[in-house]
Structure 1
């Protein structure tokens, strides 16, 4: 497999048209601390600092597809409640996604709330009602998506067992898609896979395969036997079995198995990895990739996403970078992280209970004043994010003769300091949007500011953070250094 094979497929992900139907959930992550035991009962007192809302279940499949640039039509069922409205808002924020929700006034939208302190999940609280759709609701939902099947390349059914994908609805969708020669890929749930008869491909993980067949799935031989048994029992053409650290395996009725070793370098969180697999596989299939190529791309994507925190997503650029590394090519070294890469790092640090600091500036010609700021900033936190103005932004602030050093060179020099953990660039007039994106715990600026004038201070303090002002080292500034150089002065 070479870049020349993968690149055209990845380039066309933006043209992929995919219908996704399934159980959507609202994932809520509540971060805080536990410092004492309640006097009312022998339970910890959880002090809430911040929370995060995210699309879960089939919604995470949609997030992954949107991250790949694919065009998506999504349909599901929500309750007539605040969680349902939040899901509509989150889906609406995805630019390449259209949606149609069936609102069930008798159903509570599935909501999973995780409480996390000191890097550990303390508890998960679920609100949900998982009764199956009525026949009328089945008919209404099928009518809402029936016409969409004709205009897409691939259909995904994401079954989380919450009642949306009833056996009747599944078969209606499969039969209609088959008539139009549209492949149907299903992430299955439960033991009885007969409800998926007629689909193109199932994507169980090895534990689900063992549960469905009653056979072990540890070794290559065992997973091959279990897959063979399932293909005998269920009328499906292919199986893509995800196997965690062992990678994945593709089984087809008329061909031998294809075993693909894992590409994961680090594993922080396997949550949602199956959603990434089915999303990349479907997008590749929509771009006319064959099954083996689609499986290899899915495996690469899975290796990327498990190195992130929570139900993360993967981008086409990340897949291509991983392919270059796998081929032994030297990709262009960069010390600048993207905003999303920086957010993944911050989320990981927060999961571990670490305090994250943030400071920003042009940092054009580094001097002792900068070093004092950075060292003091690091003394206030466990991990320090430094945000640098882009070249365009520096020119807008300082004039057309600046910057002296490019943003890439400035990031290289900043990254060389032990006190700096990551560097990220911002092109806006202020770092306000970046601060909101990363949600640090401590904002650090020089004492020429006041707390009231520090950009983002109100927001950071609002989610439980703080602001720290560093006494400036007198006599140092990039502007004065540049002026001295220009004049030839040594003083």
Structure 2
């Protein structure tokens, strides 16, 4: 059973991630023809983006869930090292990236036609760390370990986590009472001996125990034996469309069906699983609840395109069920985080605002029409205090709690943010929408924030209104009938 969560649920989870950091490079475009030079598609490049991969993506997931992430890794002494530092500077991650002149920074370039990956190009030098670099890593680890609850070993097989270093880290963690979770790589798992939990996918698990069917009875038998052999307490095996299973050295297994509704991209799903598991375990959750949470997080992230971290707001929406509308109503701080995640997915953000006091068909028409102009629609809603200042005593009729829930209940609305000021200018400045939308009862020059939105390349749209529909007329009609 997953406890109730909020943006502050994991704020006291301190996680140290050690492993292979990767620079992810995405090239986006469209394909409309085949090359005359060879039977391959021709991509018309439209944009490109850089992101954190490997251990960096694990750290980004922890930060997105509201935990405290410390990252320890090794990169080359090159321009891509600087690119990593620039990306990390924009994240709430405490990073120690040690430069190794003997290697290049690992770079994965994915060429994407819409949501389909055409090809991946890897640039790497995956040799073991030189002794002096390994010593620097362990020295940095010993300084960081005391302040964390959990250590994640994110092994992508690029040379950072050799057997000797893994065992020194695990031994130190055991001595200090820290949990060790491992996302393993390769078939030599002896280097992870005495860890608290390994999180392989089924293919990785099969590479160690031998080829077996992806069926419960075969998996449970082999996993139990592996836990005993390696003296690890838990083995969480992700099984793709068949979900995941937690096998314990002592105790009953725990299985869950896959939670994804749509699968666009499995890149980084393993990072999300181990990050989600880590924040839960660090806060004292039991293993079953932690695995359930990780399963839901994985179901979200495979529905995103590219290596994108999950956020606590994503999870809140996932868990909301019938109370989904309430989870659309966010503080400005949480709304900025949500909008940033939408923008990272190339979503077009729309913004409109109003009092919406006594919701009527004219309001609904405006919001539905606005939603057709964007991928995600934000509604800035005047607070009670703001409306009283604008319209005088006796207004609003409905409280801000009622008004925000009514607006959030509409399928056309993705986010509701309250504001106290007379105008939403500060809200627009903070959220930076791509399109600002108002009714045709305004002229463009009268729309608050129009110049601001256009200054960053956005646009302003004016929507036709339903005639003879207003809150004022409804109030007057009620008065006259009274």
TM over 0.5: yes
The reply on whether 1:470 has 2:462 as its aligned counterpart is yes
How much has 1:195 moved relative to structure 2? 1.9
The separation in 1 between residues aligned to 2:208 and 2:387, in whole angstroms, is: 62
**Equivalent residue for 1:334, pick from 319, 326, 331:** 326
How much has 1:56 moved relative to structure 2? 1.6
Spell out the pairing of 1:147-162 with structure 2 (5 A cutoff).
147-162=143-158
Over residues 19-55 of structure 1, what are the superposed CA-to-partner deviations in whole Å (9 max), with x where a residue is unaligned?
210111222334333455667776424131x444332
The separation in 1 between residues aligned to 2:48 and 2:401, in whole angstroms, is: 33
Cα distance change, pair 265–169 in 1 and its aligned pair in 2 (3 A): closer
> Which blocks of at least 5 consecutive residues in structure 2 are unaligned?
none
CA RMSD, aligned part only? Answer: 4.2
How much has 1:394 moved relative to structure 2? 5.1
Bigger mean CA deviation after superposition, 57-66 or 362-371: 362-371
- Tell me, yes or no, if the aligned pair for 1:357 and 1:385 is still in contact at 8 Å: yes
The separation in 1 between residues aligned to 2:320 and 2:427, in whole angstroms, is: 35
Spell out the pairing of 1:395-414 with structure 2 (5 A cutoff).
395=387, 398=390
Give the match for residue 45 of structure 2: 47
- Tell me the matched-pair count: 463
**Equivalent residue for 2:354, pick from 348, 362, 375:** 362
How much has 1:364 moved relative to structure 2? 2.8
Spell out the pairing of 1:95-244 with structure 2 (5 A cutoff).
95=92, 97-231=93-227, 233-244=229-240
Spell out the pairing of 1:318-397 with structure 2 (5 A cutoff).
325=321, 330-331=322-323, 333-334=325-326, 336=328, 339=335, 340=337, 356=348, 358-362=350-354, 364=356, 383=375, 385-391=377-383, 395=387
How much has 1:286 moved relative to structure 2? 2.5
How much has 1:226 moved relative to structure 2? 2.6
SS of corresponding position for 2:295:
helix
The separation in 2 between residues aligned to 1:393 and 1:56, in whole angstroms, is: 46
Over residues 305-338 of structure 1, what are the superposed CA-to-partner deviations in whole Å (9 max), with x where a residue is unaligned?
444454444455665676675xxxx537438365
Give the match for residue 29 of structure 2: 32
The separation in 1 between residues aligned to 2:320 and 2:362, in whole angstroms, is: 40
The separation in 1 between residues aligned to 2:457 and 2:223, in whole angstroms, is: 51
Give the match for residue 70 of structure 1: 67
Task: Using structure 1 for the length normalisation, give the TM-score.
Answer: 0.77
- Tell me, yes or no, if the aligned pair for 1:369 and 1:472 is still in contact at 8 Å: no
Cα distance change, pair 81–234 in 1 and its aligned pair in 2 (3 A): same
How much has 1:223 moved relative to structure 2? 0.8
The separation in 1 between residues aligned to 2:405 and 2:4, in whole angstroms, is: 29
Give the match for residue 443 of structure 2: 448
The reply on whether 1:247 has 2:243 as its aligned counterpart is yes
- Tell me, yes or no, if the aligned pair for 2:43 and 2:113 is still in contact at 8 Å: no
Over residues 249-304 of structure 1, what are the superposed CA-to-partner deviations in whole Å (9 max), with x where a residue is unaligned?
22233x24412213615133433232222223223332334444433443344344
- Tell me, yes or no, if the aligned pair for 1:209 and 1:226 is still in contact at 8 Å: no
Give the match for residue 283 of structure 2: 287
The separation in 1 between residues aligned to 2:354 and 2:229, in whole angstroms, is: 64
**Equivalent residue for 2:87, pick from 79, 82, 90:** 90
The separation in 2 between residues aligned to 1:102 and 1:174, in whole angstroms, is: 20
SS of corresponding position for 1:270:
coil
- Tell me, yes or no, if the aligned pair for 1:10 and 1:316 is still in contact at 8 Å: yes
Cα distance change, pair 35–386 in 1 and its aligned pair in 2 (3 A): farther
The separation in 2 between residues aligned to 1:44 and 1:267, in whole angstroms, is: 27
The reply on whether 1:267 has 2:262 as its aligned counterpart is yes
The separation in 1 between residues aligned to 2:23 and 2:396, in whole angstroms, is: 45
Over residues 138-195 of structure 1, what are the superposed CA-to-partner deviations in whole Å (9 max), with x where a residue is unaligned?
0111111112223322211111112211222212212222232323211100111122
- Tell me, yes or no, if the aligned pair for 1:358 and 1:386 is still in contact at 8 Å: yes
- Tell me, yes or no, if the aligned pair for 1:55 and 1:63 is still in contact at 8 Å: yes
> Which blocks of at least 5 consecutive residues in structure 1 are unaligned?
462-466
